[in-house]
Amino acid sequence: MCGIIGYKGQRNAVEIALNGLKKLEYRGYDSWGISTVDEKGAHIFKKVGKIGSINLSDVKLPESSIALAHTRWATHGGVTEKNAHPHFSESKRFIVVHNGIVENYQQIKEQLKKEGYKFQTETDTEVIAQLLEKNSKENDIKNALQKTFLSLEGRNAIVVLDSKTKTLMGVRKGSPLVIGVNEKEYFIASDVPAFLDYTTDVIFLEDYEAGIINESLEFFNLKENKKITKKSEKITWTLEQAKKEPYAHFMLKEILEQPNTIRLATMQDEEELNSIANKIKNAYGSFLIGCGTAGYAALAGSYFFSKISRKHINFIVGSEFSSHQYFLTDKSLIIAISQSGETADTLEAVEVAKKKNSKVLGIVNVMGSSLMRYADYPLMTNAGPEICVCSTKAFTSQLSLLLLLAYAINNKLEDGKKLLLKTSEELKKLLDKNYLENIKKLAEKIIKENHQHIYVIGRSFNYSIALEAALKIKEVSYIHAEGFAAGELKHGVIALIEKGTPCIAIVANDEEKSAMISSATELKARGGFMIGIAPENNPVFNYWIKVPDLGNASPIVNVIPAQLLAYYLAVGLGHDPDKPRNLAKSVTVK
Ligand code: F6R
């Protein structure tokens, strides 16, 4: 949800900002802008649209050693050049970029207007720039930043370029900011891939911490009003992992990485995992929470814990969690799942739980993210950077960790690990050219027949996979898709089925198999074109996609053909699967 990159050093800052924005585009891609300062003053260049094909020569800015840039996912104010960041303060001294929502921006704006400040845009960000300008009249820039930031409500990360002193200042609460350091150069960004080309030495800012970059780098805690020291850490993500080549899209690359990422998810400290499993076992009144795809992983987790470990854990989506806080005590455990670790709805649920003194287990993919920091027990999914906006490999890594924990609760961690390693091996064998071709052919048929709806059914462990499969299809192909618990069909859904409607049945070799086949038969009887994702073919299937039979790991393997189908539908319909319309990777606003 908006990407920020700032640079100060000896290289061509505009070029670094442009490259950084291209790496951050997954965070928002409706418009972008770059600012810089030279001896003639401050300059801003903005454009509506994606940045992918923009060359340095297209960016009409002078060369400079300092720059601040932003790629936007609009919240306040339409998608226009004017509303694109960066934003100037009135005198053009300050240039501001922002990720988040200033919840009290209207009050601040009204007050500033009364004092004579004029506004050029509809954004909440411009309010920050003007307030900073006002506060700088009576304070040095650090104190002006402090006064400004402490007046803002909501989850915000802001970076300011002070054109007068050529200083970059960044501060965060709730939304991420990370500083990259190299000899004589500094980067400040929303996420590490923005500067991974140049350095792997990073410093993550915590809430209310500000980094001030000039000739040197200084840190302050603005809430506690004191200077602090922070150490850099080495990031283990590699440049190679954040590159899509030789694949056409990150989505395909990340889908095909899953045999490896599932294996990486098993690489956990066993003692720690067992100890966390014990915490789950002994907790009372626990909740699995997450949003979107991570929410579906949480839902699958509730089935794993129920059927494998006989442990009742409630599932609730992050944005609905606060209504359930009344059941939390200091014995409760929240299992919060998030790829980015920055999803506002998930983080708010965590905050609610912490206020009740409940403990938080965070299952998270991004190192240094807010969830990793807020969690009492952080567990990393180890999937490496997930760049495609829609989540694929992070989902199967989340499922893998939940499965491991479910086995560990039964003191059977080794069995869980063996199952996942076998899954990884089987998937490696499965995902060859012919397999992809088979799914591509199915996508071509659906496109050729111009279907507007696709329905997906599953039961038990694979109920959440039906929901996730439908989410993948709709978010990248824009074909309407819905997932259902197969048993719900006859309670209304079946009215939607017409002759030829593509219906996907996810049929595992488990105790639900015959009920699943009955539901598929009911759909076929109403004209549904039955696509079976299953280890074995069945006469009810019009089209069969084979998956290996992996027992309790069935949700992990079953989602992969659905991810591939979504991918080929998107590409076949001419959409960019990496950047679906209206979406952003990291949803840091409510
Ligand atoms: C769908 C998708 C989203 C995310 C959701 C939560 O493909 O990616 O539904 O799963 O926005 O994001 P994280 O996992 O970062 O909390």
Burial letters for 30-68: b for 16+ Cβ neighbours within 10 Å, e otherwise? bbbbbbbbeeeebbbbbebebbeebeeeebebeebbbbb
- Non-local (6+) Cβ contacts of 20 within 8 A are 3, 5, 7, 69, 187, 189, 194, 195
SS (H, E, C) 230-269: CCCEECCCCCCCCCCCCCCCHHHHHHHCHHHHHHHHCCCC
Residue of 364, 391, 402, 559 best suited for mutating to test ligand 1, as the one with most atoms within 8 Å of CB: 391
**Cis bond upstream, residue 580 (ω within 30):** no
Say if ligand 1 is within 6 A of residue 588 CB: no
From the candidates 2, 291, 388, 390, give the one annotated as an active-site residue: 2
2 catalytically annotated: yes
8 catalytically annotated: no
Residue of 339, 395, 474 best suited for mutating to test ligand 1, as the one with most atoms within 8 Å of CB: 339
Q: Whose CA is nearest to atom 9 of ligand 1?
A: 292
Tell how strand 3-8 and strand 66-72 pair up. Answer: antiparallel
CB hemisphere CA count around 43 (13 angstroms): 17
Cα(75)–Cα(2) distance, integer angstroms:
10
pLDDT by residue for the chain (590 residues), tens only, comes to 689 999 999 999 999 999 999 988 878 788 999 999 999 999 999 999 988 889 999 999 999 999 999 999 888 888 899 999 999 999 999 999 999 989 999 999 999 999 999 999 999 999 999 999 999 999 999 999 999 999 999 989 999 999 999 999 999 998 889 999 999 899 999 988 899 999 999 999 999 999 999 999 999 999 999 999 999 999 877 767 778 888 999 999 999 999 999 999 999 999 999 999 999 999 999 999 999 999 999 999 999 999 999 999 999 999 999 899 888 999 999 999 999 999 999 999 999 999 999 999 999 998 888 899 899 999 999 999 898 999 999 999 999 999 999 999 999 999 999 999 999 999 999 999 999 999 999 999 999 999 999 999 999 999 999 999 999 999 999 999 999 999 998 898 889 999 999 999 999 999 999 999 999 999 999 999 999 999 999 999 999 999 999 999 999 999 999 999 999 999 999 999 998 887 776 666 66
Say if ligand 1 is within 6 A of residue 338 CB: yes
- Non-local (6+) Cβ contacts of 474 within 8 A are 480, 481
Ligand 1 centre distance from Cα of residue 96 (Å):
27
Ligand 1 centre distance from Cα of residue 26 (Å):
12
From the candidates 22, 359, 393, 585, give the one annotated as an active-site residue: 585
Pick the atom of ligand 1 nearest to 394's CA.
14
Pick the atom of ligand 1 nearest to 290's CA.
16
Residue recorded with tokens 């397999």: 435
CB-CB contact of 322 with 330 (8 Å)? no
Cα(351)–Cα(358) distance, integer angstroms:
10
